[in-house]
Structure 1
Amino acid sequence: MEVITAVASDLGDVIDDVNTLQVIPLKGAMTNEVFQINWPTKNDGDLRKVLVRLYGEGVDVFFDRDEEIRTFECISKHGQGPRLLARFTTGRVEEFIHARTLSASDLRDPEISSLIASKMREFHKLHMPGTKKAHIWQRMRKWVGEAKSLCSPKEIKNFGLDNLDEEISILEKELCEGYQEIGFCHNDLQYGNIMMDEETRSITIIDYEYASYNPIAYDLANHFCEMAADYHSDTPHVLDYSKYPELEERQRFIRTYLGSEGKKPSNAKVNQLVIAVEKYTLANHIFWGLWGLISSYVNKIDFDYKEYARQRFQQYRLTKPTLLDSPSIVTQNETVNGSLPLASCV
């Protein structure tokens, strides 16, 4: 209340009675708890809206909170996201963006997908503090150690953690030989972190906790992998890889992404990035598999993190042989005998 009252005062409002506050929990967040807070302004009938983010317990293992705040403020100065209105020990208050959060189905809308592709290119070109190199490999190795320290010997064996350092090294060597444009990546581009103004059709990318410099192919792969998820369903942890975008859809997205700065990309360049993105889905599966496994021990949000992790590791092992052994463009959404999705060349 002290923080909200101070924020209200800064915005020219006065909160006399706590009962005038309207608190709306926002679903779909898996690292923090997020709330929309409304209160009446001096103008009759008008409501002031802010967003309050309560940090999840134990999630500091994933990122440095102070660094994330610096990223948040820097991105805000670039005009790319909400303003930071206040900080407190266990959370912060952000400007409420008057736009709607996208849904899982929105990612498949060709018009919206095109807008996202252009915004991603703009985001990747941001000049941010930090070393312009891939950060995913070091982060994953750190998380392997964290996961081993939390898991039982049986879980370490079941999830293949003993061999994961070697897997990551092999993957790093293989992927670093291909397309390696480095940009400032969001690294968690699920639909809940993308907002759209219905009137202007402008896209805003929010939540930068995992953001860092990385290969742009990794970030594009992350976005494609997120199309298998619906975090607002009755089973938000279940992934359906039959929803992974087909080759034509991926090519269209990447063509728009590369061409968003005005120069039409060649087919060769589009296909080069399509192939690199498919290979980087493997790094995504390990990254979020480890995230799910660690989260099952440190986060209290109602989400089956361990089952989510199992699916990511399983998809990694199913797709790895084809993705690493073939230079062809690969898809992840074909189904064998109507069961688990396997990779195949197209």
Structure 2
Amino acid sequence: MAIKTIDFLNGCLSEELKEVLASVASDLGDAIIDMDALEVIPLKGAMTNEVFEFNWPTKNGDVIRKVLVRIYGEGVELFFRREDEVRTFECMSKHGQGPRLLGRFTAGRVEEFIHARTLSAVDLRDHEISALIAVKLREFHNLHMPGPKNVVLWERMRNWLSEARRLCSPKDTSIFCLNNLDEEINMLEKELSGTYQEIGFCHNDLQYGNIMIDEETRSITLIDYEYATYNPIAYDLANHFCEMAANYHSDTPHVLDYSKYPGLKERQRFARIYLSSEGNKPSNAEVEQLVCNAERFTLANHLFWGLWGIISSYVNQIDFDYKEYARQRFQQYWLRKAALLDSFNSPQDVVKVTHEGNACCI
């Protein structure tokens, strides 16, 4: 539903943002924006920021200009450095990836509005769309971004664990076993780094709402780079597979349904297309190894987003049950840990391990 501006402007739209919008309009060749003619449409599904579509008529009045305004969520500085994220955003734009940055203000930024459709939860299971995502993901991982090419995952998880302990009540600290997670993170780093891992520039948040498709060209665009860093590529595949259990536009957006986690053939298909996307012909063993690695990295994904959920429950005001979301992610970690990390498991054994149901284990 479109919101006429007056209430929104008085309540949320700062003078600074009005000035930025006027500057953006001028840069785009439009007339000065009539704030009474501005339409603001909230876009659902974001869980870190609040995102809005802003529309206004252009000079001739027959064309509507659209931009995306992102209002930064509360407490995001605990998850990542905003300046790093903006630098990544600008670099991605130069690479022809994602929207252009049009303007910045203290509480957020204005971005180019991409005229493409944001995917739905169902789209991730569509074979054609999934294949397009696999090809795009390989391209994304091969981007050369500035800065060191070091794995960030483990340091970030330790930092988040420290923040979660600082914020949590004694009850939540006990419920989520936060005092024992140092050992789990150390163990995972050792277990998952023990064999060769290809490192690439990973998106790290491959939920359907961060993937867009142009219906005419069938091109895929990955958006929202808050968490993007160098990491093992298997971690990104694991993240994408885990996100298939979510539907953030349902009546219960925090509830995860692991019966929708992709089956073995679906994961193998994705991995084969991913490895084949540059004209390569991967062997069955290479495909199986990538699927195996991705399955193991689901454990790191569960801890990562579990910690994110705990912290968000204390600092973010978005209407989302972060704590219950965290409980489900930790639950999956403890349910699957033994099967996925058994030292006697071969890659063939690992990829056959399926996600359990939602029986409570914490």
Secondary structure of the residue aligned to 1:329 is helix
1:330-341 aligned within 5 A: 330-331=351-352, 333=354, 340=359
Matched, 1:19 2:36: yes
The match for 2:250 is: 233
The match for 2:315 is: 298
The match for 1:162 is: 179
Whether the aligned pair in 2 keeps the contact of 1:178 and 1:276 (CA below 8 Å) is: no
Matched, 1:104 2:121: yes
Matched, 1:204 2:225: no
| Structure 2, unaligned runs of 5 or more | 1-17
The match for 1:88 is: 105
Q: What is the alpha-carbon distance in structure 1 between the residues aligned to residue 58 and residue 352 of structure 2?
A: 52
Q: What is the alpha-carbon distance in structure 1 between the residues aligned to residue 231 and residue 356 of structure 2?
A: 31
User: What is the TM-score normalised by the length of structure 2?
Assistant: 0.92
1:329 to 328, 350, 354: 350
The match for 2:96 is: 79
1:263-302 aligned within 5 A: 263-302=280-319
User: What is the TM-score normalised by the length of structure 1?
Assistant: 0.96
Q: What is the alpha-carbon distance in structure 2 between the residues aligned to residue 136 and residue 265 of structure 1?
A: 27
With over 3 angstroms needed to count, the CA separation of the structure-2 counterparts of 1:16 and 1:102, relative to structure 1, is closer
Shifted more, 93-102 versus 319-328: the winner is 319-328
Matched, 1:65 2:82: yes
Question: How many aligned positions are there?
Answer: 340
Whether the aligned pair in 2 keeps the contact of 1:334 and 1:341 (CA below 8 Å) is: no
Shift of 1:133: 1.9
Shifted more, 85-94 versus 44-53: the winner is 44-53
Shift of 1:155: 1.1
Q: What is the alpha-carbon distance in structure 2 between the residues aligned to residue 85 and residue 332 of structure 1?
A: 46
The match for 2:9 is: none
Shift of 1:131: 1.6
Whether the aligned pair in 2 keeps the contact of 1:39 and 1:47 (CA below 8 Å) is: yes
Whether the aligned pair in 2 keeps the contact of 1:292 and 1:306 (CA below 8 Å) is: yes
| Structure 1, unaligned runs of 5 or more | none
Secondary structure of the residue aligned to 2:244 is helix
Residue identity opposite 2:119 in structure 1: L
The match for 1:28 is: 45
CA deviation string 1:102-147 (max 9, x = no partner): 0000000000000000000000000001221211000000111100
Whether the aligned pair in 1 keeps the contact of 2:339 and 2:350 (CA below 8 Å) is: no
Shift of 1:166: 0.6
Q: What is the alpha-carbon distance in structure 1 between the residues aligned to residue 33 and residue 155 of structure 2?
A: 50
Shift of 1:59: 1.1
Q: What is the alpha-carbon distance in structure 2 between the residues aligned to residue 16 and residue 239 of structure 1?
A: 42
With over 3 angstroms needed to count, the CA separation of the structure-2 counterparts of 1:47 and 1:332, relative to structure 1, is farther
With over 3 angstroms needed to count, the CA separation of the structure-2 counterparts of 1:334 and 1:161, relative to structure 1, is closer
2:54 to 28, 37, 42: 37
The match for 1:257 is: 274
CA deviation string 1:146-182 (max 9, x = no partner): 0000111121111010110110000100000134000
Residue identity opposite 1:222 in structure 2: N
Residue identity opposite 1:187 in structure 2: N
CA RMSD of aligned residues (A): 1.4
The match for 2:155 is: 138
CA deviation string 1:33-81 (max 9, x = no partner): 0000011112342111000000001111000000100000001100011
1:218 to 235, 248, 259: 235
Residue identity opposite 2:98 in structure 1: G
